[in-house]
Structure 1
Amino acid sequence: MGRVLARCAGPGPRALHDRPHRPPLRVPLPRRPRRRTRLRGSHRVNPLEAFVLGVVQGLTEFLPVSSSGHLVLGQALFGIELPGVVFEVNVHVATLCAVCWVYRGRLAELARGVCSADRGSIRDVGLLAAATLPAAAIGVGLRDALEPTFERPVLAAAMLLVTGAVVWSIRRLSRRGTRARPTVGGALAIGMAQAFAILPGISRSGSTVAAAVAAGVEPRRAAEFSFLLSIPAIGGAAVLQAPELGEAGLAAGMLPLAVAFAAAALSGVFAIRIFLRMLEQRVFHRFAWYCWLVGGGYLAAAAIWPALRG
């Protein structure tokens, strides 16, 4: 009976001490993959750096030289990156304000026309909506798949060469443009050109103006359509980044954000004015030389220094 009670009570203290130690069983938990954010840092910038970044964003957003391409090459060459998603949304909103200011009269005209059921205004808004669909579908549906392209500077440089060819073609295509607005098919083609410009190195303004004049639209009207089309494009980019604002915090600081906003807005207005003036003076193709110089120069440098290939 004593043996039974001893077995039920288990081993004594000495037996427990002599038992070999077994490490506790650890079940590895699946780790949540970290999402790589393109060209986005978390460092603070001073007002001067914020001013420079704002000016660069405002100019390259509207001139046909690809803002995304410049950011990719700038990071590869100089380690340049935007200081957080708050800063990025800030300069996007600034460039949005710039185009709204330049075309405030046209936007007010469209708003009054839609409210008064004017057929021409409703048609123009419908064409802008149709042209927005391709980029919206591709931008949302393939956002994660396209992220790695922003870490390939050689691709961005090669796409700058393509942008140069597209900008150069505007000179020849603009001679046959006589329409005030594109057809529905033309609007969809312009939208596909804007979707193609999601790739770094492809200029959104250059590709959409080229598609518009190829669809028979008069050059200045083509530029107007392109810039009005940028409103939902830039606004949509800011909306896609909005969920990350809560996690990001104000890494840049309020003063640098204000400086960057003013710099991006003012330089954006200046860039649009220069764009329209050069288009009217038929010297728009000079931007092609710039794209070829930057893209070709980077590819040549990458062929010599493998570290630049990304």
Structure 2
Amino acid sequence: MDLIEIVVLALLQGLTEFLPISSSAHLILPSEVFGWQDQGLAFDVAVHVGTLLAVMLYFRKDIVALISGWLTTGFSRSPNADGRLAWFVALATIPAGLAGLLLDDWIEANLRTVNVIAWTTIGFGILLGVADRRTGQTRSLATMTLWMALVIGLAQALALVPGTSRSGITITAALFVGLQRVDAARFSFLLSIPLILAAGGLKSLELAESVLPVDWSSILLGVAISAVSAWLCIYYFLAFINRIGMMPFVIYRLILGGVLFLFFT
């Protein structure tokens, strides 16, 4: 990979991991437009590590509070708010984890096409717009219930389908069950931690078993760029989401899906 490829792909991964606009739709464009080859397993691990560092750094206080609440009250009959939220994050992670184990290979072989990504980019973008315009989004994470967490977790399993957007579908589901925009986004980002950790771990094991040489300077640059861009993305998304809503992302998804249909299918 040359420098331009490293910078562009790491930026795309860092930004699209947390914005509701589909990372797979964006990562396919450079290969289609510029003829770039797949970035390879080592670089894939690097950008996963970068985004994981970003979300864990941003939510470091929340993570400490969740772990503390889970260890101190999580196994009691009346867990505190942090202990309860920690259980909700864990339970909401299970559907996507099971779906990944059972369906990942089939999805990789059958659904990773430009046509599928174009349809899901548009379809789930419209669904995000409908959810955002729905009234009654008044609940906070402190009032979250088990069924709300399970609905969001089941929705997250759909993110295995390319073009869906993990953050997009979880925020959509969170809005539908009544969470406020900021709390919907915060829960979505907290949910990303175990999944990115698991995906990065699996890819790291594959990399450890590989005999291919690793370009460590490219790896470190990819980690740095994806981490910084992902942190900035989380910061500004949470800062402005109540002001701008989801409609800019819905419009962007519609345009992106249209571009994919017109030029790449």
- TM-score relative to the length of structure 2: 0.90
User: Residue 180 of structure 1 aligns with which residue?
Assistant: 140
Aligned-partner residue type, residue 177 of structure 1: Q
Write the letter of the residue equivalent to 1:176.
G
Q: Which one is further off, 136-145 or 63-72?
A: 63-72
Q: Distance in 1 between matches of 2:203 and 2:18?
A: 20
Separation of aligned partners in 1, 2:244 and 2:6: 34
Check if 1:245 corresponds to 2:201: no
Q: CA deviation at 1:52?
A: 2.0
Do the aligned partners of 1:72 and 1:150 also contact (CA within 8 Å) in 2? no
Paired with 1:76 and 1:50, the residues of 2 have a C-alpha distance of: 16
Bigger mean CA offset, 51-60 vs 243-252: 243-252
Bigger Cα displacement from structure 2, 274-283 vs 92-101: 274-283
User: What is aligned with 1:39?
Assistant: none
1:254 aligned partner:
216
Q: Which residue of 1 aligns with 2:76?
A: none
Contact 1:95 1:265 (C-alpha < 8 Å) held by counterparts: yes
Equivalent residue letter for 2:152: I
Distance 1:252 1:83 in 2: 12
1:143-162 matches, within 5 Å, as 143-149=104-110, 151-162=112-123
Indicate whether 1:234 and 2:211 are aligned: no
Query: Which shifted more, 234-243 or 55-64?
Result: 234-243
1:62 to 10, 18, 39: 18
Indicate the structure with greater helix content: 2
* From 50, 60, 64, the counterpart of 1:104: 60
Q: Aligned-pair distance for 1:236? A: 1.5
SS in 2 for 1:197: helix
Larger Rg: 1
The 1:150–1:79 alpha-carbon spacing in structure 2 relative to 1, beyond 3 Å, is farther
Does 1:119 find its partner at 2:119?
Answer: no
| RMSD of aligned Cα (Å) | 1.8
The alignment status of 1:205 with 2:167, answered yes or no, reads yes
Distance 1:75 1:51 in 2: 14
Displacement after TM superposition at 1:252 (Å): 4.9
SS class of match (1:216): coil
Aligned counterpart in structure 1 of residue 181 of structure 2, from 207, 219, 229: 219
Q: Aligned ranges for residues 26-175 of structure 1 at < 5 Å? A: 45-117=1-73, 118-149=79-110, 151-173=112-134, 175=135
Partner AA of 2:228 in structure 1: L
Q: Which runs of 4+ in 1 moved over 3 A?
A: 247-252
Q: What CA distance in whole angstroms lies between the structure 1 residues aligned with 2:99 and 2:26?
A: 22
User: What displacement does 1:254 show?
Assistant: 0.9
- Is residue 296 of structure 1 aligned with residue 252 of structure 2? no
Deviation at 1:114, TM superposition (A): 2.4
Any idea what the Cα deviations from partners look like across 1:233-272, whole Å, max 9, x if unmatched?
1111112323321343564511111111100000001111
SS at match of 1:268: helix
Matched residues, number: 258
Q: State the identity %.
A: 36
Question: Equivalents in 2 of 1:150, 1:125: separation in Å?
Answer: 33
- Per-residue CA distance 1:69-126 (angstroms, 9 max, x = gap): 2223433333334422111011101101111111111112112222332522221111
Deviates most, 113-122 or 125-134: 113-122
Answer whether contact 1:72 1:152 (CA < 8 A) is retained: no
Residue aligning to 1:27: none
Where in structure 1 are there 5+ consecutive unaligned residues? 1-44, 302-307
Amino acid at match of 2:260: Y
Q: Residue 70 of structure 2 aligns to a residue in which SS? A: helix
* Structure 2 counterpart of 1:132, one-letter code: T
Partner of 1:278: 240
Q: Could you state the TM-score of these two structures normalised by the residue count of structure 1?
A: 0.78
Flag the 1:77–1:267 CA change in 2: closer, same or farther, 3 A. same
